[in-house]
């Protein structure tokens, strides 16, 4: 087992914040998604000790391999989540299979989780599709389909003042990977505050004060350096094998000029010689950095300090005192 998941499994034994991650991602992305969020939490507020536990929801379709991964990495169920006395919860998105979220097989389980969070649960943060599901369930805000997939790295800026974003730079990049969006005007009409946005990608981080303050991300600031590339390769493979009808666009601002030229040549060949075995000749791509990770660390760090301050009745600036190693 990777060391970072071993740490999540064993927990951190000293008193601190108890954080649950509800990982709804498909089997192939379970490990990488858990690792991404755990890496962000590890670096977000180093002065805080955070006990992390992993959870899964019923209704998310799993293969035998996926179910074995959940068992081997001590994923717990919804009943155990409710009984865990958590201080905060992160709910990941997943890859949608249906046009309407309420038609997804996991919808009832996710709706039960959302109801519990609003009624009795701790502060929560939602990622991508989980954000779309939450605003639909809480306020009836329907996501709307995009003409093209919002895919790649996009320039963002902050909107107004908030403790979650005060330490962000004037401009920063965040990864997006989605076919749908929730419109800014609908969020505003229902009392959500938009904290970061992009001219090209729209709303990114937004919040609403319900019983607790809830955070919503349309993008993926937690993505590691290779995630967008892996998703692109996956979608090319799906096209060549006939699982999707259209050839995917390259992620925005991700590949360098040399790689883009090689990928364009491969695309021209693939659309003329469409067969799965052509994937063996896919171009070799370079490693790269993920600029959005510092954004995730800044926002999640401020969020964890806010929660620690409320738990221990101190100011957020002093929330880490007594927790540092």
Look up 95 and say whether it is catalytic. no
Catalytic residue among 104, 197, 222, 231: 222
Catalytic residue among 104, 128, 197, 204: 128
Catalytic residue among 132, 156, 176, 220: 220
Look up 275 and say whether it is catalytic. no
Look up 128 and say whether it is catalytic. yes
Q: How would you classify the pairing of strands 196-198 and 144-158?
A: antiparallel
- Write out the catalytic residue numbers: 128, 220, 222
């Amino acid at each position: 087992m990777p060391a970072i998941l071993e740490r999540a499994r064993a927990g951190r034994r000293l008193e601190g914040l108890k954080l649950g991650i509800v990982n709804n991602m498909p089997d192939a992305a379970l490990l990488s998604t858990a690792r991404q969020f755990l890496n962000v939490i590890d670096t977000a507020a180093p002065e805080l000790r955070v006990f992390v536990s992993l959870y899964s929801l019923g209704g998310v379709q799993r293969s035998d391999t996926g179910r074995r991964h959940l068992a081997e990495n001590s994923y717990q169920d919804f009943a155990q989540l409710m009984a865990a006395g958590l201080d905060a919860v992160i709910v990941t998105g997943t890859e949608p299979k249906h046009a309407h979220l309420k038609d997804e097989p996991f919808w009832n389980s996710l709706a039960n989780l959302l109801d519990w969070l609003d009624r009795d649960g701790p502060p929560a943060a939602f990622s991508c599709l989980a954000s779309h599901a939450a605003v639909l369930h809480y306020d009836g805000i329907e996501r709307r389909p995009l003409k093209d997939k919002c895919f790649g790295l996009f320039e963002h800026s902050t909107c107004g003042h908030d403790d979650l974003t005060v330490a962000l730079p004037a401009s920063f990049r965040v990864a997006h990977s989605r076919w749908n969006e929730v419109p800014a005007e609908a969020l505003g009409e229902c009392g959500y505050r938009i904290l970061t946005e992009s001219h090209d990608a729209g709303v990114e981080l937004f919040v609403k004060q319900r019983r607790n303050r809830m955070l919503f991300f349309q993008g993926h600031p937690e993505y590691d350096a290779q995630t967008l590339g892996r998703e692109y390769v996956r979608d090319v493979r799906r096209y060549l094998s006939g699982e999707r009808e259209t050839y995917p666009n390259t992620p925005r601002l991700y590949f360098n000029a040399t790689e883009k030229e090689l990928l364009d040549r491969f695309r021209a060949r693939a659309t003329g010689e469409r067969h799965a075995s052509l994937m063996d000749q896919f171009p070799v791509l370079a490693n790269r950095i993920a600029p959005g990770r510092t954004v995730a660390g800044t926002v999640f760090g401020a969020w964890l300090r806010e929660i620690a301050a409320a738990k221990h009745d101190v100011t957020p600036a002093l929330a880490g005192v007594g927790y540092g190693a």
